[in-house]
Structure 1
Amino acid sequence: MIRQILSFLAGFAVFLFLPISSTAQQSQAYVKGVNEVVTLPSSTLNEDRTILIHHPAIDSANPNKAYQVLYLLDGESHFNLLSQYADYLSRWDVDVIPELIIVGIVNTKRARDLTPSESIFNYYGKPDTTTGSYIRPSGGNGKFLQFIKEELMPYVESHYKT
């Protein structure tokens, strides 16, 4: 009798878990908008800059719709996540923010581009006399902001509906 009960319970357990394995679905990558990678030559910075651009798909009901633009520093680190957040938060059923064009600026020399003045100190606050420090060169923030204002923003405005 015990043997029959154990056989029944084993068969019932297999039957119980069978639907779970048969209804499992593969997850698919999330893609809503359009992502582009652009190489923009900069005469201000004397280098080519990689720009990541995410924009909503063209709305066939309103093809002339203009979008706000969000410029993102450290684009290589935060672009994908921010694009997905923006797409989610602008969905019709969430509707917290408007649809956006996201422009991610990929770093080439972060310490140079994001510091307003030349650093004479190292990471530990002591005078920096080395030439190979990762903090050097610094103090290029003025040119970086000029690049954004005079080269990047006009490029985005001329190629996308802003």
Structure 2
Amino acid sequence: MPTSDAEGKDWSLNWFRYHLPNTVTDVGPGEGTYAKLFRPVHEGVWWTGIEAHRPYIQRFKLKSTKTRRMYDEIHVEDVRESEDHLFHRDLVILGDVLEHLPREDAVALLERTVEAGAWNILVSVPIVDSPQGEVDGNPHEAHLHQWSPDDMDQVFAGLGGRVESMRGSTLGCWWWNRG
């Protein structure tokens, strides 16, 4: 769904405040949850969105205008085909995204994000059984992998750097830092 569970957002916001990134790539922004939450904390951030479903851009007014700031640039594409420079950011957000990819593609995306030079990565995924198919004609909304906290911990352990995590009742969040 293009929406996001409130669980873990306060935790994520605290890490955002701590690091205060100046450049952010938000993969699969949907309705723009993270931009709405984080922008008021640090106004000078350049926000890039990578959204696979073009109708969401208009529906959720993701593109910044003179009167409203959301995303400074939007790329409409499957993140697996995005250019590496989009991941050379102070923060890359993969909020409620990795469950929409096969596990091997999700792991490859995380590895690629680190290799491209991301300083911080925020991941949020459901950690309870959450089957989901296509939503509103968007096949990218289907859940293709169910993550467990232990599985995600193992993936992050293989990336090096420092990791903080939060396990809620339905969502898990991980903040990776290049350290």
Normalized against structure 2, the TM-score is what? 0.21
Task: Return the structure number with greater strand share.
Answer: 2
| Greater Cα radius of gyration, structure 1 or 2 | 1
